[in-house]
Amino acid sequence: MTGLDAVSSRAFLLRIRPGKLEDYKRRHAAIWPEMLSALREAGCVHYDIHVYEPLGLVFGHMLYRPQEPLVPEHPVILQWRAYMADVLEMDGGQPSREPLVHVFQLRGD
């Protein structure tokens, strides 16, 4: 059993609004310390974000410890989402997220 056995994985695509790529990168370069804390409190143990600049696509991948019972969304995460609403394509109050299907994984011994 490894430390990864207790975590789940989630990967997704987001779309950056046309002309907002630099804003997206700038905001993440100066991410709020309280946002990092909120993600950790929500069970996130690893989070990567990559951008495919020609199409304005964001690939996000996170490893997290599922919370039982499910924890309501942290107020700081909701504030960050609102802060990013002018930069990301949205679906109501959330970024328009395309979940990705997991097809392969290699884990260490």
* Catalytic member of 28, 50, 61, 102: 28
Q: What is the pLDDT of residue 71?
A: 61
Which domains does the chain possess? 3-99 (3.30.70.100)
Nearest C-alpha neighbor of 62 from the set 24, 97, 19? 97
Lowest mean pLDDT among 34-38, 62-66, 81-85: 62-66
pLDDT in tens, 5-19: 688 999 999 999 999
- Is 50 an annotated catalytic residue? no
- The pTM of the full predicted model, rounded to 2 decimals, is 0.86
**What are 35-49's pLDDT values in tens digits?**
999 999 888 999 999
